[in-house]
Structure 1
Amino acid sequence: MPKKPRQLSDEALMMIARRFSVLSEPLRLRLIHALFEGEKNVNTLVDLTGGTQANVSRHLQTLTQAHILSRRKDGLQVFYAIADPTIFELCELVCGSLEKQFAKQAEAFER
């Protein structure tokens, strides 16, 4: 039996839409994925994601403002980490769902 959705206010729906909007950019998702193993500095994130320094910094700022990432400065280095642990669950849920979908598509294609 399907789970009954909870009632959400218009303000809550706006906040949810903003969160998904922040997560709708592929480079931001790559940055989050790169931080799953722990805190990293900007240069490492640039190397891991293949983005430019300016572009990565801009997306890190957006993720930090959305409270998805935290930022820590140590001398001239800036380090980022995942601040919202629910992002792990969200990514796992979406990735698991997409894996099932791709498997069904591959199975149908093989027929």
Structure 2
Amino acid sequence: MDEAKSSSLSLIGRALADPIRIRILDLIAAGEVMDKETCCSIGMCVCDLQEALDLKQSKVSYHLRELKQADLVHERKQGKWNYYTINTVTLQAFCQDLSHRFHLA
């Protein structure tokens, strides 16, 4: 396996190792709503996550930054709000890479 792929697996693994970030991904996945006009996921904003987790905005933003660096979430800015959705492509590729690497499939 090449070094770039190993680095990517490691980065995602570290991002997924934190229980708060797992909870954030759970909340985003459960809260994603489709906009019927654009057929796109609207996502969740920081304020929704902050309220659900009972954490300060700075702490939620820190964890979202870690998830973004691992390419696990997409961020979309609309006005003064940032909305987050799950990057299913990255998650699926991560699972496939692990499966192939450790001969699980």
Taking structure 1 as the reference length, the TM-score comes to 0.65
| Count of aligned positions | 83
Percent identical: 24
The structure where strand makes up a greater share of residues is: 2
Q: Whose Rg is larger?
A: 1
Residues 75 and 82, structure 2, Cα contact 8 Å, conserved in 1: yes
Q: Where do 5+ consecutive residues of structure 1 fail to align?
A: 1-7, 91-111
Q: Which amino acid letter does the alignment assign opposite residue 17 of structure 2?
A: S
Q: Which amino acid letter does the alignment assign opposite residue 35 of structure 1?
A: I
Residue of structure 1 equivalent to 2:81: 77
**1:24 equivalent in alignment to 2:8:** no
Question: Secondary structure at 2:55's aligned position in 1?
Answer: coil
**1:51 equivalent in alignment to 2:44:** no
CA distance in 2, matches of 1:70, 1:36: 12
Q: Where do 5+ consecutive residues of structure 2 fail to align?
A: 33-42, 96-105
Higher relative contact order (CA 8 A, sep 6+): 2
CA distance in 2, matches of 1:87, 1:68: 7
Question: Secondary structure at 1:51's aligned position in 2?
Answer: coil
Q: How does 1:1-111 map onto structure 2 within 5 Å?
A: 8-37=1-30, 38=32, 39-85=43-89, 87=91
Residues 8 and 70, structure 2, Cα contact 8 Å, conserved in 1: no
RMSD between aligned residues: 2.0
